[in-house]
Structure formats: C-alpha cells, structure tokens
Structure 1
C-alpha cells in the first residue's frame, strides 16, 4: 500500500458536463404526466425523501410528451438541486427527467461517488453564491465555477468515497433498526397497556379507577428561560424540555437541566421520585398528555416550571415506572384529546387529568409491564446513541478526507 501525494485545485466544470433540466409548460397540465410510465419526474421533495445517495422512487412519472419537453437521464446519473433547496446532490437509481430546478453532472472525469460527497460538503458555499428572489437559486455557471480540491489519483478518490459510503450504510442500518424497534414497542404498548396481551404469571382482573381519586398536584412556578440562573444548584423543569425528550423517564440527578434561583422558585413545590410531570399545552395532538416520570432527584432539588402539571399518584394504585407509560394508554389519550379538542393550542389541565377513568392491572403486573417497555426503550436509546455517534464520525470523516487533511492508502501500482 502507498499514499498518493498529489491533490489539485480545479472547478466542477472541469470535472463534469453540467446541464440544466427543462420543464414542460404549463407544468400543471395533465398532458405531461402518465402514472404507468417508467420515466420518473424528479421533484425536490423526492430528493429529500431519498436516502441522500440514491434516488429510487418519485411521486410522479412523465408521459412521452412530458419526456420530450424535459431532460431525460438514464439511471445512474448524478443530479443536484439548484433552486429553492440548493445544493442537494443524489444519484438516480431509475430513468428520470429533471426540470430546470436541477442540473445533471455527466461525462465525469472524477469518481462519481467522490463527487457526490464533494458536492454535499460544498452545499454551504453554493448557497452563499445563490441569487435571492422569491426563492434561492444558482445557475449552471455558478455550479461549473465551484472551486474544489481533489486527489489526482482516482484510486484515492474511490477509497474516500467507499469509506464515506460505508459509514452512510451504517447510519442507514441503524435508522432502520430504530424504526423497527419503535414499531415493535408501539405494538407492545397497544397490547400490554390495554390488557389484550398478558405477561406470563398474571391473570387478575384489571380494576377501573378515576385518576382524580388518587392524585395530588405540586405547585409550579412560571418563569421564562430569560429568568433562569445557570449558577444555581436548584434544577428547573420547563414544558419545552418535556416536549423535546424521547425518553419518558427523567433522571434529574444526572441530566443537565436549566437552573433557577431559590428566590425566584419560592413557593414552588419540590418534585419527588415517582412524580409525573406533564406539559400542559401542545399545538400537535401527538403532544397531548406528554409527560416524564422523575426517577431520581438532585441534592439541591428540582421544581416544576412554566406550563407544566406536576402530579403525585398513590403508589398503591400506579407503580413507579408504569406511570411513565400512562400517556400511551389509549383510554387516557382519547379522553384528554376529547377534552382538548376545538382549540388552536390543545390544553391539558389538572381537571382534565383528574377526570380520566381507565382500567389498570395490579401493581406487580404494572411493574412487569414497565420493565418490558423500559428495556425496549433502553435498546432504542442505545441505537440512537450509536446513530448519533455514526453521524458525528461521518461529519469528521468528510472534513478530513475531502480536504486531504487525512489520507487513505491506496494499492501500489505494480
């Protein structure tokens, strides 16, 4: 193995023929489209829905008349958006036509996949060169004139592209695993939280309860983020921090959180382990009833903050751990949604929560259900961590490999 020593400055126009797409007019005419056609019509939404490397499907296809008035491309062509969302490249995996919001890069004098990643890394520079108007766009001259630096040895280009393609494969695999695990968890919740499926060893009848008979509420303090004090040891739970979480559990002792001075938090109640804290409003129905269960508290304490409802349930009725999944019980969500309907911002209130009636299993079964769901959540979180690390590794690889700061060895010529 040896390391190629030479990189050169060049421009995209020296590496490829850059040809703009074309659009049949008027574009809304049904004459140009045919759902049975094998030649697909590429829109930026199709590119955004792709895996970022290969475009395998689009929502529309062109008729023979539409094809004649657009720019036809064979499968395996590198294209890039130059209007609206500028600088998004992808390789077509199917025969396509592109409109004038795209360019095709053909007759390549560089490895195609290497150029794909090189264009991805140049997206910011392309946008800076764009012409502002009703929407951002660049022309073919700007694309042709984009300065880039490439290794002269094509084998090094190929190895760089292969390394980046491999990390993208890993990222895609992890995304699929996360989606699969989430679907499995969703099915488990639908079965276990309704009693349709019982865990081994449990057969007692579920009991009907009204939450208001078993809950008390902790006083909150309404403060904006501007009023928070990062130097205070007292932690503060804001409704936005509930909405943005993927985990239904909150270890307030170990997680980094906003802080508030004891003076401003005067009068607020301190949260305890097992308390369930709801965000009290959401513009999205999926956010209604969103909550986190406190699993550990810091020495200095934690207070519930702006737009939260802090609930403390009888532990003889709702077990620690199980409460975190209350938000996914269909009867609970359906009742809160029905009460919240008809407003622009969907509200969750103390009275709404208290009015909810539902069936729950005995405490031992609640704990068993919670363990199964929590174990699944931990698996998903572990995959998310791996996914985030892989994305960070890819970012670092692109910064190093596409600039020549880090070199990959190539096979020596015999």
Structure 2
C-alpha cells in the first residue's frame, strides 16, 4: 500500500509524520520506579482494614471499578513486604486476562494509603512526555489489546509479562494534541457517566415502584378493595414446549418461530420478544410437544436460568425449557409480566431435579400470587411500569449511541485520521 506523504508506517500502525511510535519502556524513561509491578500479597497478609489493596478486578477498561468487597493489609505487612504505595493519578495496567492490558487511572477513593497486586503494572510516564488521560484511551483500543494478546503467555491463566508489555509501541502525538484528544474523549466519558447515573437512578425508582405497586402497599387513585390470592393456574393457561427431532430436516427452517432460553437471555431484560434465532416447520410443530403460544402471552424459562420472562409480540413455539402463560380475559398481560418477574426466588425454591433445576407445570399451577380483582387496576399498574421501562429503554439506546460515537471518535483521533491541533 502506498502511503500519503503526511503519514508514515510504524510498529504502532500508520500515523501522522509529526507523531512518533514509542515503546512503553521508553515512555517511562526505562526507570523501574516509573514502570513497575504491584506487590505479591498472599492470603495470610489480608486484613479487613489498614492499607487498601487494589486488585485486578478493580481495573476496568478505561475506568476504575470500586467494589463492596475490599481487601487490606496492615502497616506491619506493608513494611515487611516492602510494598510500593500508589499515588492518585497512577496509570494501572492489568497484565491478567480478561482482557489483559486493560487500564485505568487511579482516582481518589478515600483511602489514605493504597497498594496494588503483582499482576497490575504501575505506570508513571513523565508529564513532559505524555498525558495519562490520552494514554488510558490508547490502552482501550482494539489495536492495543491485539498487541497485548500477541505477547501473552500462560496455560492456566493468560497474562502478559511486564517486560513484554514494555516493548509495545504506541502512537504518540505532541503534548498539545494529546491533551486536545484527551479532553474531547473526556467530554464523551462525562456524558456516558451522566447517562449511567441517570439510568441507575431510574432503575432504582422502577424497583421501588414495583415493590410498592405489585404488592398493594401503594394503591393508585380511584382503586379500592382487597386484593385476591389466586393460583397461577386460575390466572393463565400454562403450557410447556418441546423440540422436534433434529435428525429430521423437514422439521426445521420453516415459518414457525421456536424460542429457546438463549433468545430470552439475549434480550438483556428487554420486555418484548419479536423474533427467535431458530424456526421450525408446521410438521415439526405437530411431531413434537411444542405448542403455538398466541401473541401477547408470556414465555418464561423454567430450567437452569429460571423465571426469565418476555411478552411475545408474535405467535411462537418454545422448547421444553419453558412454561408459558396465556392470560385469561380477567388478567392484564403487562401486570402479569411484571408480577412474574418478582417471583423468581419463589419459583427457584420450588425447583426439583438432581442434574439441573427445573420448575414443573404442576408446581406453577398451584403457586399463589396476590393481585387486584379489577383488570383496570392491573392495567393501570402495568402501564406505569411499562412507561418506566420505555423511558429506561430510550436512555439505554442513547447511552449505546453515545458509546458508539466515542468508539468512532477514538478510531479517528487516536490514529491521526482526524486532527484537533
């Protein structure tokens, strides 16, 4: 390939002429105190308080992930082991999969003293050479992970040696351009963080609303009277599924949607199922115990992952890993959907099976739930929760588009295709 006169081919890829390809070793001026591993801390030294230990699980792709379960060591152990104290602003690169090479900047986390594990490399490039905000974005690109993966070893746990990590060359613009790139991508990170916080708050509000509305603790205006205790068998027609013989080609690739638990988990909590990854024929349907489930019913996983639900917007069949609910006329499908999602623990407690957990139709038919006698009240509750889901879905779509935009910006800015300076 013939390169433009404005670009050059390097070990870090094709970059602008005024950029350089520089190794991590050279960025640290080959000084161990600027590029060193964390400390080997065995379990016997761990305590519940003292000097905080940052572990590999705290290192996310471009961000620090704090967790409830925190590890510490004592001051005595710190001195005995000759540990290295971290500084706010250190670049932490995880040498252990998955994925090896992920990195973050250590933020202020409210701890006086901090150390990190041996599989985390502490990187402190001089500010005269590199902006760490720029570097952490470079360390989140597919090309970086490819370079790291090519140098990984280990049969049990894949990791990259610090020496190999130091040999990797990365594209490095002049400092003013590094800062401009870091600020542009930082603005996107700030927007993503704000969206994540809004989504988390909306999720909490929805959970609180479900707790109040689906138990009758809070009643909507205009609705009165006691709720009824009913068996699920009196709420819906409960049907199972089946699988046509896989040895018979005439049973497959037809026009009948055939749902497996994978189709439900692939929704990632989305409420509606509109298509399935596999289809069967009418012959396959008749030759198996699978049944057609009318649209606007509820399909629910009943094996292994139990209690995952979706409302099917088209008629579907399912395999035997489902119990499906066709609501009776007196039952609002949205209300029943949300009610069922709150019963997972109850369903699991009834499960049998020595190889894997499974809840049977007989158990579900007799399972009791409390619900309003009025379908109008059910529908009103269902609408409130549906509206909250719709708002969450819109926010998640916006977050996903913003994340995609940031990825596109990274591809442009970190390769020099688009210049900010």
Tell me, yes or no, if structure 1 residue 29 matches structure 2 residue 55: no
3-state secondary structure, aligned to 2:59: helix
Larger RCO: 1 or 2 (CA < 8 Å, sep 6+): 1
Matched pairs, number: 386
Q: Specify the alignment match of 2:137 in structure 1.
A: 117
Closer/same/farther in 2, CA of residues 231 and 145 from structure 1, 3 Å limit: same
Unaligned runs of 5+ in 1: none
> Post-superposition shift, 1:33?
5.4
Q: Specify the alignment match of 1:374 in structure 2.
A: 386
Q: Specify the alignment match of 1:405 in structure 2.
A: 417
So what's the TM-score if we normalise by structure 1? 0.83
Contact 1:56–1:92 under 8 Å retained in 2: no
Tell me, yes or no, if structure 1 residue 102 matches structure 2 residue 120: yes
- RMSD over equivalenced CA pairs, Å: 2.9
1:147 to 169, 177, 190: 169
1:61-210 alignment runs, 5 A limit: 61-68=72-79, 69-85=82-98, 86-94=100-108, 95-108=113-126, 109-121=129-141, 122-151=144-173, 153-210=174-231
Unaligned runs of 5+ in 2: 1-15
Distance 2:93 2:125 in 1: 15
3-state secondary structure, aligned to 1:384: helix
3-state secondary structure, aligned to 1:322: helix
Contact 1:56–1:93 under 8 Å retained in 2: no
1:334-345 alignment runs, 5 A limit: 335-340=346-351, 343=354, 345=356
Q: Specify the alignment match of 2:9 in structure 1.
A: none
> Post-superposition shift, 1:397?
2.0
Tell me, yes or no, if structure 1 residue 309 matches structure 2 residue 323: yes
> Post-superposition shift, 1:260?
2.0
So what's the TM-score if we normalise by structure 2? 0.81
> Post-superposition shift, 1:371?
0.1
Distance 1:246 1:130 in 2: 32
3-state secondary structure, aligned to 1:273: coil
Q: Specify the alignment match of 2:7 in structure 1.
A: none
> Post-superposition shift, 1:154?
1.4
Distance 2:269 2:158 in 1: 38
Q: Specify the alignment match of 2:13 in structure 1.
A: none
Tell me, yes or no, if structure 1 residue 322 matches structure 2 residue 327: no
Distance 2:223 2:236 in 1: 26
2:308 to 286, 290, 294: 290
Distance 2:176 2:350 in 1: 64
Distance 1:33 1:271 in 2: 55
Distance 1:242 1:22 in 2: 42
Distance 2:240 2:349 in 1: 26
Q: Specify the alignment match of 2:261 in structure 1.
A: 239
